[in-house]
Amino acid sequence: MSNETNNNEGPLAVITGAARGIGAAIAQRLSDAGYAVAIWDYNEEGAAETAAALVAAGRRAVSAKVDVADEKMVEAATQAAVAKFGTPALLVNNAGIRHREPLETLKRSSWDREIATNLTGPMVCTQVMGRLMLAAGKGSIVNIASMSGSYGQAMRGAYTPTKAGIIGLTSLTAVEWGGRGIRCNAISPGMISTPAHVEAYSNEALKTAREAMIPLGRIGDGNDIADVVVFLASDAARYINGANIPVDGGVTKALLALMPVPTANGEIETTLSQLGLR
C-alpha cells in the first residue's frame, strides 16, 4: 500500500482500474465531492501516482496493486482501505481490458483473461465490499459497462459478452440487495477519449468520422462518465436502482439515423445529415 493520508473522516469510495483514464477521472471527481478514495489497479505505479497527486492536493487517498479477479488481493486491499477510511460507501467497478480478435480465431486464453478481469473481477469486488455494505445497511455500487454490452460490435472478442454480463450483474445485485439498503446501477459509456485512445484519435479523419455519428457532435471524456458516477452515488439518485445509463452523446439512439437514405435529388445521405446535424 502507498500514498496514504491520515484523515479518517468522510465516506470511502473504492474505484478499480483507476490508475488512468476513466477510472482516474472518477477518482478525482469523487475526491472533489468529499470522498476518501481507494485507487486500485494492476498498474501499481500508475495507481500510486494518481493517489499521490490527490494527496499532494490535500485529499484523502490510498493506492493498491489489485488483480480484481484475485479474491485474496481484493480482501487484503479492502481491509487496508477500511482500516484507513472505514466501511466503503461506494464501489465503482471500472477495471476492464479489451482485445481485438475475430470470433472464429478468438484464443481461449484471451477469452478467459477478459472474463476474469471484466466480469469475475466485478463479481468478486461486489461480494467482498457488498458484505460490508450489507452489514452497514447502506451503500452504492456503480458498474462501468459499455454500449458494446447492449449492441453487438465486431472484432471485440470477449469484451461484448463481458459487458453484457456486467449489465446482468447490475440487475441481479439491484434486485437482491435493494431491499437491504444497497443500490446498484450501471453506466454504458459510448466513444470516450482516454490515454488508451490517444493514438487512434490523433487520426483526424477517424475522429471527424466518429464525431459525425454522435448527435452531440463530440467524443466524450472521462469527466463525462465521472459526473454520472457522482450523481448515482448521491442522495439525488436515491430512487434509481438497477438502471443502465448510456453516456454516449446519443449515438446509440441515433443508429437508425445513420442508415443511408435517398434525398430528393437522388443523392445518398443519412437522416442526421439531412437534419443538418452532421
Catalytic residue numbers? 159
Task: Please spell the DSSP secondary structure of 1-23, one letter per residue.
Answer: -BS--S---S-EEEEES-SSHHH
Rounded distance between C-alpha atoms, residue 243 and residue 263, angstroms: 38
DSSP class of 184: E
Rounded distance between C-alpha atoms, residue 52 and residue 62, angstroms: 8
Rounded distance between C-alpha atoms, residue 231 and residue 240, angstroms: 10
Rounded distance between C-alpha atoms, residue 103 and residue 107, angstroms: 9
Rounded distance between C-alpha atoms, residue 168 and residue 184, angstroms: 11
Q: Please name every residue paired with 261 in a beta bridge, in sequence order, or none if there are none.
A: 269
Cβ contact 184:232 at 8 Å: no
Cβ contact 117:68 at 8 Å: yes
Which cell numbers hold the place of 200?
487512434
Rounded distance between C-alpha atoms, residue 14 and residue 126, angstroms: 11
